[in-house]
């Protein structure tokens, strides 16, 4: 405002001088009185133009150029399809939620998946792509775990933060933080489900309870544990394998070993082979909530049965 008060008189004086120069150049009036009056009117009119009209034109040009630039920017953004975070209403409790997913293959990541870390390995292999949406309340929960007094819990939290940092630097996925404004749910699991509905997104987790809740509500779940189980070695009854028996099983006569992917092998009557590698034949495969169990019989056991 102070700048305008200074500029207007300056413009008025400049335009007054310009008007005086034009009057001297073109107004050739013999009568001195009329000539002086014409000069005065020209100078006053020119000064008025400088004081009022020029600033108005300048303001109009500035507004027009700003609107033009905004239109150009909007057009560029629409052509590039740059994603924007949804704006939730504040104060009146009436929050507007997007009707369509605004990200390419949106995936919401929960705290358990970040701490687990295997999800990041899947992304780094290129098997999964899209936009990782990290809710702010997940970050808060992760920070709370990282600040815990218990050393084990604190280490898990810091591991989750490190994995998140590596995901942000990855060129294979885009990572964005969702502030979670306007979510009406109270618990973390319910907030994750609500956010998944907003973005029409999948939820990555290793949490069994969240898996059940989301499945019931129709949200697609990417459970890392299910993925690991699906990728474990598939063995059919009758196939032969070699397994090292490392401990007793649930029953004293049983021996237990593991495949390289962690699959448990139960060796029937194999307790006497603890510490040894034996050749065995698959008798049956059992799928449980904890994972896949494979029951085998060694050659010695087969002879006894025969």
Do 252 and 293 share a domain, yes or no?
yes
Do 58 and 124 share a domain, yes or no?
no
Do 124 and 220 share a domain, yes or no?
yes
Do 218 and 241 share a domain, yes or no?
no
**Count of the separate structural domains present in the chain:** 3
Do 292 and 241 share a domain, yes or no?
yes
Task: Write the DSSP string, 74-90.
Answer: HHHHHHHT---PPPPP-
Q: What is the pLDDT along the chain (306 residues), one digit of tens a residue?
A: 444 555 666 666 776 667 667 766 666 666 666 667 666 776 677 666 666 665 666 676 666 655 654 564 455 444 434 344 444 444 444 455 544 447 788 999 999 999 998 888 888 888 888 899 998 889 999 999 999 888 888 899 899 999 999 988 888 899 988 887 777 777 888 888 888 888 889 999 988 888 888 878 888 988 888 887 777 777 888 899 999 999 988 888 899 999 877 788 999 999 889 999 999 999 998 877 667 789 999 876 544 444
Residue 94 lies in a domain: no
pLDDT score, position 246:
93
* Residue 151 belongs to domain spanning: 106-230
Q: Does the pTM exceed 0.75?
A: no
Do 178 and 120 share a domain, yes or no?
yes
Look at residue 27 and give its three-state secondary structure: coil
Residue 203 lies in a domain: yes
Do 222 and 264 share a domain, yes or no?
no
Do 13 and 115 share a domain, yes or no?
no
Do 125 and 226 share a domain, yes or no?
yes
Do 123 and 9 share a domain, yes or no?
no
pLDDT score, position 35:
62
**Boundary of a domain, candidates 79, 95, 123:** 79
Do 110 and 226 share a domain, yes or no?
yes
Residue 58 lies in a domain: yes
What's the Cα-to-Cα distance from 97 to each of 14, 77, 194, 210, 302, rounded to whole Å? 56, 21, 11, 23, 65
User: Distance from CA of residue 127 to its chain's centroid?
Assistant: 18
Residue 84 lies in a domain: no
115's enclosing H/E stretch is helix 111-116
pLDDT score, position 229:
75
| Eight-class DSSP state of 252 | T
**Boundary of a domain, candidates 60, 79, 98:** 79
Look at residue 219 and give its three-state secondary structure: coil
Domain harbouring 278, CATH code: 2.40.50.140
Residue 197 lies in a domain: yes
């Amino acid at each position: 405002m102070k700048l305008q008060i200074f500029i207007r008189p300056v413009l008025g004086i400049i335009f007054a001088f310009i008007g005086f120069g034009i009057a001297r150049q073109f107004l050739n009036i013999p009568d001195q009185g009329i000539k002086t009056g014409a000069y005065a009117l020209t100078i006053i009119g020119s000064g008025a133009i400088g004081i009022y009209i020029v600033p108005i034109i300048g303001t109009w040009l500035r507004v027009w150029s700003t609107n033009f630039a905004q239109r150009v920017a909007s057009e560029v953004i629409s052509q590039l399809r740059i994603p924007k975070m949804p704006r939730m209403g504040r104060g009146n409790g009436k929050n507007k939620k997007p009707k369509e997913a605004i990200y390419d293959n949106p995936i919401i990541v929960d705290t358990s998946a970040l701490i687990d870390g295997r999800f990041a390995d899947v992304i780094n292999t290129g098997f999964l792509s899209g936009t990782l949406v990290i809710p702010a309340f997940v970050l808060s929960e992760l920070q709370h775990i990282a600040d815990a007094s218990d050393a084990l819990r604190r280490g898990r939290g810091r591991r989750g933060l490190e994995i998140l940092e590596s995901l942000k630097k990855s060129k294979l996925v885009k990572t964005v933080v969702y502030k979670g404004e306007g979510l009406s749910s109270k618990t973390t699991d319910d907030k994750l489900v609500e956010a998944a509905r907003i973005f029409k997104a999948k939820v990555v987790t290793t949490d069994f309870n969240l898996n059940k809740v989301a499945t019931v509500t129709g949200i697609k779940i990417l459970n890392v544990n299910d993925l690991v189980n699906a990728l474990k070695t598939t063995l059919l009854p009758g196939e032969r394998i070699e397994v090292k028996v490392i401990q007793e099983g649930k029953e004293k006569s049983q021996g237990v070993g593991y495949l390289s992917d962690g699959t448990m092998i139960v060796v029937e009557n194999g307790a006497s082979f603890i510490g040894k590698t034996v050749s065995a034949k698959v008798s049956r495969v059992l799928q449980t909530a904890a994972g896949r169990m494979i029951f085998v019989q060694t050659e010695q056991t087969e002879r006894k049965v025969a």
